Amino acid sequence: MRTSTIIAIDGPAASGKGTLAKRLAAHFGMAYLDTGLLYRAVARDVAAAGDALDDPASALNAASKLDAQSLDDPALRGPLAGDAASIVAKIPQVRAALLEYQRSFARADGGAVLDGRDIGTVVCPDADIKIFVTASDEARATRRHMEHESRGETIAFEKVLEDLRRRDSRDKERNIAPLEQAAGALFLDTTTLDADQAFAAALLLIEHARRRS
């Protein structure tokens, strides 16, 4: 990989994009940014201020003041934070305020891997490698359900599936930077793949794409 290589990975919730992005970053010795955490943190800060998640002024204020150190907060990882994130993520001013942070991260020495919903389409449209990762709704809900169970949380599978589909629709149907496959993105369906198999498949796709270019 060139030292300035950017790998953009997009896809819906629980598609395996985060796990894949982290592994590719470790494999190629590149920096890694989970951009979903930015939106999750904005939602956390709006809620902490006692404001409604769809309040543009409060959300812009939170996005402008976002402290990168606070992204390690374990509370950001849960499903409620993900749902809240998808509400602030619809606000154009929030997306604009987070753009430069993501772009400057992408220019990191040694290259970077970013994962999210709009990395290949908006944040880094010139990324060297773009991958769109997806899986069937049922496979994704099964993964999320297992994550809940491993944390000792009891929740019906149907509820997990319903929540996931609601968030998918919000992300795909919003007016700004909707979730969609970027032009030129490699397509990876992880429905029947575990994390190791998805990683191996992505490496093959990247290898083929680089030989063609």
The residues of the shown chain that bind ligand CDP, judged by CB under 6 A, are 13-14, 18, 35-36, 39-40, 82, 85-86, 89, 116-119, 167, 171
Q: How far is the CB of 39 from ligand CDP (least distance, A)?
A: 4
Taking Cα atoms as reference points, which of 21, 19, 7, 10 lies closest to residue 117? 10
Rounded Cα–Cα distance for residues 206 and 143 (Å):
25
187 vs 208, beta carbon nearer ligand CDP: 187
Cβ nearer to ligand CDP, comparing 3 with 103? 103
User: d(Cα 24, Cα 32) in Å, to the nearest integer?
Assistant: 9
Least Cβ distance, residue 102 to ligand CDP (angstroms): 8
Distance CA 127, CA 101 (A): 16
Least distance from C-beta 207 to ligand CDP, angstroms? 26
Residue 79 vs residues 8, 38, 66, 155, 185: alpha-carbon distances, Å: 23, 15, 21, 12, 27
Nearer to ligand CDP, 133 or 186 (CB): 133
Distance CA 39, CA 23 (A): 22
Q: Closest residue (Cβ) to ligand CDP? A: 36
For ligand CDP, give the closer residue by CB, 82 or 111.
82
Q: State in angstroms the smallest separation of the CB of 178 from ligand CDP.
A: 9
Closest CA to 142 of 154, 160, 165: 160
Closer to ligand CDP by Cβ: residue 71 or 209: 71
C-beta of 118: minimal distance to ligand CDP in Å?
Answer: 5
